Amino acid sequence: MPSTPADRSATPPTVWTARGRHLGYAAAGVVRKHLQLLKDDGTLQDFLELPEDEAPPGRRAFEARWRLEDEVTVRATLTVAEGADPGQEWTLLAEADRPWDLAWPAPSAMFWPHDPDGTWPHESAGGPRHLHANALPEDDKVMRRILRDAMRDTWDVHVVVHEAMTPDARGQAPLTPYLPPGLHHRVIEHRAAPHQLRAVNWALREFGVEVPRGGALVLPGTPAPQGMETRELSVRTVFLDGSEPLELVGTVTRFAALSRPLPEGAEELLTAVREHWHLFTLEEELERERRLVAMYAEALEAMTRSRDLYREAAERAHEALAAYQESAGAVIPAQQQPPGRSGGSPFQQLTRTLERLKDSAKALRPPTAPPRDTDEKTKS
């Protein structure tokens, strides 16, 4: 049963998450090759492909680590569905030593070739793509489904831009590359044609938001994060002339910085990075062993204290029991019984007592007088 956003903890500020779908073939091979290239040129410190028995069922798992600004270590894990068929889903979580800076490169670029037209930066099979301006379909029913799915998406930030008039080639270029690098592959841009504004706002009506004419709207998601009002998510005007949309970039950046629940399915990735990590340096391995030794020593000391306390409590209990037995013997003397004879059960003792009382009553009863008629006959 999938968890609701209220059931999931907030995403730590040190964590970066992303999800997508690789529409080519042999996705694990693409990841493996790209990681090796980055390790060879020194971009990555190291990477590791986990054995099949340690990866989630039906998936391949990779770990990678690199440094940013020569002092921040990033640990990341990526899982990708196995198989040679196209449409292999992948999930990624990275955690840094300090809160994530959106000016840092997107961790997805460490696992996948940086190619906007590649086969990996897809939100879903047949769905919108990252780093692209995705035109909304003409079919109103399909468009409503896409927008509703976007409102429920817990991994990406979705932006709807309305074209007040059909733009030229410069205006058709995507807006997301203007965003900070850390938001690449986390923002999906939807484009509404001039005549689609009414249909778009009708589809969004149930969520209480709307796209301004010739402007843009950052979809708040379900539920909307705390910290921004709905009116703060809309931009009144976006000039699709190739210029940098500063107001839209600022709105998207502020929204992405808000605290949101961990995306559905990211809890396992966070646990893998924090508790089941494999890719340690020699210094980290030594420090890890020192912590384990200290933990075992504390546990042994606690067990020793518990054993001593138990032994002391047992000795006191035996002393108290002996004292009680001595005091009970002095107050209630033991019943004397003939040698070799057992007192029997309480029921047997009560029976014998009643029999003795019955015999005593018979002995004390006076003799019965003879009948009077018999005496008169004797005298005559």
What one-character-per-residue DSSP string does 89-155 give?
A: EEEEEEEESSSPPTTSPPTHHHHS---TTSSSBBSSTTS-BTTSEEEPPS-HHHHHHHHHHHHH-SS
Report the candidate in 175, 13, 169 with the shortest Cα–Cα distance to residue 102.
13
Cis peptide before 223 (omega within 30 of 0): yes
Name the H helices within 4-107.
Answer: 27-40
Amino acid at 68: L
The answer to which of 236-240, 351-355, 369-373 has the lowest mean pLDDT is: 369-373
Q: At what angle do helices 140-152 and 197-204 cross, to 10 degrees?
A: 50
Amino acid at 332: I
CA angle 86, 277, 46 (to 5 degrees): 70
| pLDDT tens-digit map of 26-40 | 889 999 999 999 999
Domain residue ranges of the chain, discontinuous segments joined by +: 9-120+265-303, 123-259
pLDDT band per the 50, 70, 90 thresholds, residue 24: confident
Q: Sheet of 234-235: strands edge to edge? A: 133-135, 187-192, 157-162, 216-218, 234-235
Under 8 Å CB-to-CB from 133, ≥6 apart: which residues? Answer: 161, 172, 173, 174, 175, 189, 191
- What is the rounded CA–CA span in Å between residue 196 and residue 193? 5
Under 8 Å CB-to-CB from 181, ≥6 apart: which residues? Answer: 102, 103, 104, 105, 106
Residues 179/187, Cβ–Cβ less than 8 Å: yes
The class level of CATH for 9-120+265-303 reads alpha beta
Residues 13/258, Cβ–Cβ less than 8 Å: no
What one-character-per-residue DSSP string does 201-223 give?
A: HHHHGGGT--PPTTSEEE---SS
Q: Is 32 exposed, middle or buried (0-12, 13-18, 19+ CB in 10 A)?
A: middle
pLDDT band per the 50, 70, 90 thresholds, residue 217: very high
| pLDDT tens-digit map of 72-90 | 999 999 999 987 666 789 9
pLDDT band per the 50, 70, 90 thresholds, residue 379: very low
In this model, does residue 1 exceed pLDDT 50?
A: no
Number of neighbouring beta carbons within 10 Å of residue 139: 11
In this model, does residue 71 exceed pLDDT 50?
A: yes
Buried b (16+ CB within 10 A) or exposed e, 187-205: bbbbbbeeebbebbbebbe
Taking the domain 123-259, which CATH number applies? 3.40.30
- What is the rounded CA–CA span in Å between residue 211 and residue 195? 13
| pLDDT tens-digit map of 90-148 | 999 999 999 999 999 999 999 998 776 567 777 665 678 888 899 999 999 999 999 99
Q: Sheet of 88-96: strands edge to edge? A: 15-22, 88-96, 72-81, 59-68, 46-49
> What are the CA-CA distances from residue 127 to residues 143, 162, 173, 190 (Å)?
11, 19, 18, 11
Question: Is the model's pTM score more than 0.85?
Answer: no
Residues 216/238, Cβ–Cβ less than 8 Å: yes
Under 8 Å CB-to-CB from 297, ≥6 apart: which residues? Answer: none
**To the nearest whole number, what is the mean pLDDT of the chain?**
84
* Residue 377: predicted pLDDT: 46
Residue percentage of the chain with pLDDT more than 70: 81
Q: Which two tokens stand for residue 204?
A: 């969004």
Q: Which two tokens stand for residue 312?
A: 């002391």
Q: Which of the two residues, 307 and 291, has the higher pLDDT score?
A: 307
| pLDDT tens-digit map of 338-369 | 554 545 555 566 566 656 655 655 555 555 55
* Residue 380: predicted pLDDT: 42
